[in-house]
Structure 1
Amino acid sequence: MLFGAILRRLFLSGLTMLLLSCFVFLATEILPGDALDMTLTADEMSAMPPEALEQKRQELGLDRPAIERLGVFLYQMARFDFGTTVITGAPVADIVWYPFRNSLALAGATLSVALPLAFVFGIAAAVWRGRSVDGAVSGAAIVGYSIPEFVIGTVLVMLFSVAWPVFPATITANTRAPLPELIDAAPLAIATVVIGSVAYLTRILRACMIEALASDAVERLRLAGMPQARIVFVHALPAAILPALTAAALYAAALVSGIVVVELLFAYPGIGQEMVRAVTMRETPVIQAIAILAAVVVVTANLVADLSMLALDPRRRG
């Protein structure tokens, strides 16, 4: 039964990636103009004879039917062959790898700080529900989750780069810098994402812990005289972790592709800046590669969460 459940999850993940790949292709197809329009100026377009423009489009493959290009695109994506850029002919993989690596590093550094804090705050708020601790944690979580990240980042820059110049306002490390050097140069960017992440994850874990503590099984243990600490950490916490696992995994995956504003605010050399540049230049292969990589991260995180829940909760194997 477990093997069949795993196969179903794997099949659904593959189907999801196929549908997402088709959506990415269609979404980039409907962009106004193409890479050739963005490469050539209006004067160059008017000076070139129609035959030369048509030949250039044929060389770039822009004259092929959409269904043919979709088939080629799906075949290449299945092999993780992102092709070359339209404008310069550079390998797309070389362009997106380092920014993608940097965004993964920023998300990882954020979660390494946010998860322990959310763990502590969520449990404390649930255990002392209705008291001052719960009110303070819940209020701070709502505020932190509600304020946009660009506002949080701007306030941090004003405090710790202008009023009290401790950290740099922007990141000067280049895209190919070693990860330790890059993370050391991005304390304000990490802090900006951590605030929103802690707020979101704290609310999730608090809700799951409250539900677990209110269950009949925990109530019977409480009536039997079991110590509160044992009830919380041995019985309630494992039950609360299961429903929070999927939400936390999806949020962690979304950090990779969802911190564009923070990357732009602090000039962090991640996938967000590369995506903006690619959209501006209508570099369709780069846009498609970034979108596919982000989709792979989300689908993989969801699959890992599902498989973890299958292993931890036998009731989900049916």
Structure 2
Amino acid sequence: MLDDAVATQDTVTQLVAAIRRVIRDAPGGEKTATAWCTVHDYTDPGKPRIAWNDEQARAALVDALVTDALNLLGRLPERQLDEKAADAVGLPALVAGQDVEVADDSDGRDGRWRIARGTAHDRMVSTVAPQARHIHKNRTRHQDGFRAHGAFEPETGLLTEVELTAGSGKENHEAAVAEVLLADESEDLTVLGDTAYGTGDLREALETAGRTKALGRPDPTGARTAQFKKLCHHCPLQEQCTRSKTGRTFQVHSHYDRLKAARRQAADPNWKAEYRRWRPPVERAMAWLTARGNREAPYRGVLKNNTWLHNRAAALNLRRLINLGLTHTDHTWPLAPTTT
């Protein structure tokens, strides 16, 4: 997880910045804004001046900013847009779509808006860096930026492949699960229909004890959850099933089958031995990649930062090769093992 190089923006800042960009980059934007955008002086680099501790004032400002954005977009002169102008025109709609919804007492036709409750999936965090995303590594650690993926050859200590992607999206969830698996060697649960059961003897015992639980409705990502919780209290199988003091929570998601297969693989003693042998050098390589202030991606956007990541990986590999004995002889570069 790499931090982005810009500050995260709240909804008001994003709306104001998106309108400013249309004014600056879209043909006829400045003239249209002068006539139809009245809630704020968009030449002022600061935020609108309101009582920010007044909830009604904040709601009224968001409603007015969205109205300004709609007026601006709806009254721009019709003409062919180049890529820069098209991106600018699309930005206010994107910001409004992710952060704003119709007011509680509105039917959606009277043009009244408020900040949306909750956080939109794949939310853009800044109009300055529109490809940066809000990333959750686990339930407690989160940041804004990008994901760096790497493949490493542990015997030589060389990075064989790297790639930088946006922080979220379905193409960015190929994370390793081995570390979690070693901490959870209990028997897995099986899902039949809408009910979660234990496997083997654990399943039979749970069924006999009446400890089965229906899966809940799918969440926005399609995951379904069974919360055993109180059913785990005083259960003779609790130590085999979960370390949670509040009881087991079991989730079925799109990677359920892969995770279950990985748990079975991780139970193999040979697999554990290989994992414990090779994990330290791999972790060391990832530490090299982000050392000396390189936890933050230095540029805006995926393309430039991906180029930077490849250059950094190449430099680290060159340093590693020199440490392995790379020398220049005539017109060749032989790799002679060092004596130290």
Shorter-chain TM-score: what band? under 0.3
User: Which protein shows a greater Rg?
Assistant: 2
Greater length-normalized contact order (CA 8 Å, ≥ 6 residues apart): 1
Higher helix share: 1
